[in-house]
Amino acid sequence: MYPDAPYAEGRGSFLRPVPLPHYGPSAEPTKTIIVACEWLPYIRGALQQLLLQTTWATDNPVFLTDIQGNVFNLIDLFSECPESELPFTCDYDFTLSDGAWVNIPRPLETPTHQGDYVAGGGWFASSASSAAGVNVSRGIIIKKLFSPAVSMRHMGIVYDLVKGSFSFGGNVNAIAGYSGVTNQFLVSVPSDTDTDGMGKTLTWDGAAVLVDQIVINIIVGVNTASTDPGGSCNVYRAGATGTGSATSVATFRTPSGSRIARSRCRCPRS
């Protein structure tokens, strides 16, 4: 209801039945408009109220059937953009699943990855030593792949951190997006000065960039003495928003019963 009211409820756009149009929705004269792709599902949903029998000032079933057919033709004029243009909001709750994130292989180290997923808890830091058996580091280094690439404008993580020891600097705690090997966005803090804390956040917001993978890199300690530096980290939530290709489309119903298509968090293919 407009304006807003404490007891607002859905109702048709017309206070009383309206006359039937004389011609179909694509008959001349016509007018060309430009509408953002994100708005098209809402327009299609809103137009469905024209299918209500009470909208039209007729009690002739033939006329009613004819006008309802024209309403469907009108809705079809507002065809939605391809699925690749659908917006998505991905909330990766790692306490529920790994979110289809995977380790980045580190073939010269043992073990050959950093970061272990624990069901119900999220991603936790794990130790890895260099092939030479000198440097030992503990951390989480994981990625999420998108194929085809998606246009992203936000990414963030929530994590708990207790640093271990650092024999030298140079490492960063970071979130990043890549197109192939080209870095498209990066937000980072030095690993050895990142403050300990619970519920810490690292967030990037910016103009839309095309990425085929996003990376989380948290190093909690590095020791050159071949001993575990200690420290701990738990990344338990991540989020991303943008537009991209979808494996499936979630359909939501508005209070009036119309349907709106929108990508879900699993939609960009990985």
- Residue pLDDT tens, the chain, 270 long: 445 556 556 566 787 888 989 888 888 898 888 888 778 888 888 888 898 888 899 989 889 889 988 998 898 888 877 654 567 788 899 999 999 999 999 988 888 999 999 999 999 999 888 777 778 999 999 999 998 888 999 999 999 999 999 988 789 999 999 999 999 999 999 999 999 999 999 999 999 999 999 999 999 999 987 888 999 999 999 999 887 764 333 333 333 344 444 444 444 444
Question: What is the dihedral sign for C-alpha 189, 181, 139, 170?
Answer: negative
Decide: 214 and 143 in contact? Cβ < 8 Å. yes
Query: What range does the domain containing 52 cover?
Result: 1-81
| Residue 193: CATH number of its domain | 2.60.120
Write the burial class of residue 176 (CB in 10 Å: 0-12 exposed, 13-18 middle, 19+ buried).
buried
Domain identity same for 166 and 51:
no
Reported pTM: 0.65
Looking at residue 155, the DSSP 8-state letter turns out to be E
Asked if residue 270 belongs to a domain, the reply is no
Write the burial class of residue 46 (CB in 10 Å: 0-12 exposed, 13-18 middle, 19+ buried).
middle
CA dihedral angle for residue 221, residue 224, residue 230, residue 235, rounded to 10 degrees: 30
Domain identity same for 136 and 18:
no
Examine the fold and report which residue of 60, 81, 102 is the final residue of a domain before the chain moves on.
81
Domain identity same for 64 and 108:
no
Domain identity same for 73 and 134:
no
Domain identity same for 210 and 131:
yes
Q: Quote the CA–CA distance of 244 and 146 in Å, as a whole number.
A: 9
